């Protein structure tokens, strides 16, 4: 056990916790039994939630990356049984050569299965395959009373859906069985097109997203006037073996991504300002092909480009950064436009802004719901950021939308019930699992979730 200062990926609001690395399941059970101090207990994965979801100031944190076994892969059934602390990075290195892929992958492979379930994460294929929990056939949950329950969506839907998206507050996920996707190659065939403005990109996505398994648009949030919302739209699917050149077919499933660079520990303060980000965005937009069909990309380049730069979160300096991600329902395109206009008016220096379309959601605290989602990184030191985002929160709620708790570090607590109408139902279910309120987190305290 070590006392450690923890942050999320955005490196804002560090807090100190007693961090334990359980050596096996029994040790996790013992820690759950002992960890009943007044500041409670929480599981943590790889700390890729941007805000304070995986922190527990003054309390205990179980670092589940110490339990990261892959127990069994059933290639015929396309399933895998793993410890919850295994990362998607480890899992993909094991699965891709077998012709298997995780059904849902976020923008980084450095997340654990437990973290992916607790935040019910989504990928570029939400419009097709839904969120991560949809691919979870069952999981073992250590509940605060020390019981280990094997939970499935059919047999125990309430516990299943309270835990999926439940931000680690229903117990500790120990193990999970996942349904996988079959792939024939480790390549993705990608179609790219540039869109001149926001209406253009939304129209293109609406018209043809359903033809693709994966779809995402990068948006230039510094372009204004007629170019507001200009974007690069990339869509694709796993490349079938027959589409690979013959010479490459024998090694079609080779997979070994590497981090190519490491971000320097020190960068001049204010490096990411409007001028540098504007120059980057201009270059990014111009370098994208106006239209390109079937370009071959590796899994790492298509799904996890940011993982090529180790610790890239340090480029924002000491103040750190935050990610603002919201969804507004289909039919609320006007609200999306107003929000983008406001971000452009404030000239938010964001070089990472992506637009996706969500399919049906999962209820309770799970974030995705049918509609448009925009995610953008913003330096925490940007002047006027607090009031700007508070205004945007109101617009999101008025449009019937919500923001993503896995990315949040600054939302006001009174907004949560307005964004998550099933919050009380979730609280009721959680209370049954944890009547003594032993599971808790900085996020839970800040947003008064419990």
Ligand X SMILES: Cc1cc2nc3c(=O)[nH]c(=O)nc-3n(C[C@H](O)[C@H](O)[C@H](O)COP(=O)(O)OP(=O)(O)OC[C@H]3O[C@@H](n4cnc5c(N)ncnc54)[C@H](O)[C@@H]3O)c2cc1C
Q: Is 406 in the site for ligand X (CB under 6 A)?
A: yes
Q: Give 244 or 272: the residue with its C-beta nearer to ligand X.
A: 272
Q: Give 345 or 437: the residue with its C-beta nearer to ligand X.
A: 437
Report in angstroms how near the CB of residue 110 gets to ligand X at its nearest: 7
The count of residues in the chain is 450
Q: Write out the binding residues for ligand X, residues 153-182 only, by CB under 6 A.
A: 167-168, 172-173
3-state secondary structure of 168: coil
Cβ contacts of 77 within 8 Å, gap of 6 or more: none
- Which residues lie across from 402 on neighbouring strands? 327
3-state secondary structure of 25: helix
Site string for ligand X, 70-89 (x = CB under 6 A): --------------x-----
Q: Is 40 in the site for ligand X (CB under 6 A)?
A: no
List the one residue from 31, 42, 183, 380 that touches ligand X (CB under 6 A): 42
List the one residue from 103, 112, 362, 369 that touches ligand X (CB under 6 A): 112
Report in angstroms how near the CB of residue 18 gets to ligand X at its nearest: 15
Determine the interface stretch with ligand X among 40-48, 223-231, 327-335, 392-400 (rule: CB under 6 A).
40-48
- Which residues lie across from 179 on neighbouring strands? 79
Determine the interface stretch with ligand X among 109-117, 330-338, 379-387, 414-422 (rule: CB under 6 A).
109-117
Report in angstroms how near the CB of residue 61 gets to ligand X at its nearest: 8
Residue 62 burial by Cβ neighbours in a 10 Å radius (0-12, 13-18, 19+): buried
List the one residue from 49, 86, 100, 339 that touches ligand X (CB under 6 A): 49
Q: Is 327 in the site for ligand X (CB under 6 A)?
A: no
Residue position matching structure tokens 């079937």: 294
Give the CA angle between residues 358, 305, 350 to the nearest 5°. 70
**What distance in Å separates the CA atoms of residue 160 and residue 429, rounded to the nearest whole number?**
10
DSSP letters, 327-347, are: EEETT-HHHHHHHHHHHHHTT
Q: Is 379 in the site for ligand X (CB under 6 A)?
A: no
Determine the interface stretch with ligand X among 68-76, 101-109, 191-199, 328-336 (rule: CB under 6 A).
101-109
**What distance in Å separates the CA atoms of residue 125 and residue 196, rounded to the nearest whole number?**
24
DSSP state for residue 136 in the 8-state scheme: E
Q: Write out the binding residues for ligand X, residues 303-322 only, by CB under 6 A.
A: 306
Q: Is 9 in the site for ligand X (CB under 6 A)?
A: yes
Residue 193, number of CB atoms within 10 A of its CB = 20
Structure tokens at 177: 């069985």
Site string for ligand X, 120-139 (x = CB under 6 A): -xxx----------------
Q: Is 48 in the site for ligand X (CB under 6 A)?
A: yes
Q: Is 107 in the site for ligand X (CB under 6 A)?
A: yes
Q: Are 180 and 100 in contact (CB under 8 A)?
A: yes
Q: Give 116 or 328: the residue with its C-beta nearer to ligand X.
A: 116
**What distance in Å separates the CA atoms of residue 52 and residue 35, rounded to the nearest whole number?**
20
DSSP state for residue 13 in the 8-state scheme: S
Cβ-count burial 130-145 (b if 16+ within 10 Å, e if not): bbbbbbbebbbbbbbe
List the one residue from 6, 32, 64, 355 that touches ligand X (CB under 6 A): 64
3-state secondary structure of 291: strand
Q: Give 17 or 108: the residue with its C-beta nearer to ligand X.
A: 108
Q: Are 212 and 193 in contact (CB under 8 A)?
A: no
Number of residues that bind ligand X (CB under 6 A): 33
Report in angstroms how near the CB of residue 134 gets to ligand X at its nearest: 13
Report in angstroms how near the CB of residue 17 gets to ligand X at its nearest: 11
List the one residue from 40, 114, 371, 401 that touches ligand X (CB under 6 A): 114
Q: Is 54 in the site for ligand X (CB under 6 A)?
A: yes
Helix H or strand E encompassing 61:
strand 60-63
Q: Is 44 in the site for ligand X (CB under 6 A)?
A: yes
Q: Is 32 in the site for ligand X (CB under 6 A)?
A: no
Residue position matching structure tokens 């127990």: 71
Q: Give 28 or 99: the residue with its C-beta nearer to ligand X.
A: 28
Nearest Cα neighbor of 427 from 448, 443, 401 is 448
Q: Write out the binding residues for ligand X, residues 198-237 only, by CB under 6 A.
A: none
Q: Is 108 in the site for ligand X (CB under 6 A)?
A: yes
Give the binding site for ligand X (CB under 6 A).
Answer: 9, 42-49, 53-54, 64, 84, 106-108, 111-112, 114-116, 118-119, 121-123, 167-168, 172-173, 306, 406, 441
């Amino acid at each position: 056990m070590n006392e450690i200062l923890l942050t999320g990926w955005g490196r804002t609001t560090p807090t100190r916790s007693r961090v334990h690395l359980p050596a096996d399941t029994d040790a996790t059970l013992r820690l759950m039994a002992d960890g009943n101090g007044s500041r409670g207990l929480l599981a943590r994965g790889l700390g890729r939630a941007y805000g304070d979801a995986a922190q527990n100031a003054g309390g205990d944190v179980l670092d589940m990356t110490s339990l990261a076994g892959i127990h069994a892969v059933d290639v015929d059934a396309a399933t895998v049984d793993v410890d919850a602390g295994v990362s998607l990075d480890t899992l993909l290195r094991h699965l891709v050569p077998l012709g298997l892929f995780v059904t849902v992958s976020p923008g980084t492979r450095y997340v654990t299965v437990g973290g992916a379930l607790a935040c019910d994460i989504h990928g570029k294929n939400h419009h097709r395959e839904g969120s991560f929990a949809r691919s979870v056939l069952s999981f073992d949950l250590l509940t605060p009373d020390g019981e280990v329950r094997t939970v499935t969506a059919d047999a125990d839907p309430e516990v299943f859906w309270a835990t999926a998206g439940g931000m680690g507050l229903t117990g500790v996920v120990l193990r999970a069985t996942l349904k996988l996707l079959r792939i024939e190659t480790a390549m993705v065939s990608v179609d790219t097109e540039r869109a001149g403005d926001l209406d253009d990109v939304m129209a293109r996505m609406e018209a043809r997203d359903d033809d693709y398994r994966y779809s995402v648009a990068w948006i230039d949030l510094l372009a204004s006037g007629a170019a507001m919302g200009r974007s690069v739209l990339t869509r694709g699917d796993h490349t079938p073996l027959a589409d690979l050149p013959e010479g490459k077919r024998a090694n079609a499933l080779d997979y070994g991504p590497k981090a190519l660079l490491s971000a320097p520990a020190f960068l001049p303060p204010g490096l990411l300002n409007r001028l540098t980000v504007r120059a980057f965005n201009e270059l990014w937009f111009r370098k994208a092909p106006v239209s390109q069909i079937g370009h071959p990309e590796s899994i790492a380049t298509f799904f996890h480009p940011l993982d090529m730069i180790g610790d890239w979160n340090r480029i924002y300096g000491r103040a750190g950064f935050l990610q603002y991600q919201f969804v507004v329902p289909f039919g609320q395109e006007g609200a999306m436009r107003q929000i983008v206009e406001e971000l452009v008016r404030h000239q938010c220096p964001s070089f990472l802004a992506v637009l996706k379309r969500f399919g049906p959601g999962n209820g309770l605290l799970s974030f995705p719901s049918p509609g448009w989602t925009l995610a953008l990184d913003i330096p925490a030191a940007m002047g006027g950021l607090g009031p700007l985002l508070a205004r945007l929160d109101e617009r999101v709620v008025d449009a019937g939308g919500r923001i993503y708790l896995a990315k949040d570090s600054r939302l006001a607590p009174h907004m949560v019930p307005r964004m998550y109408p099933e919050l009380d139902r979730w609280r009721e279910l959680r209370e049954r699992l944890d009547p003594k309120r032993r599971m808790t987190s900085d996020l839970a305290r800040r947003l008064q979730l419990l």
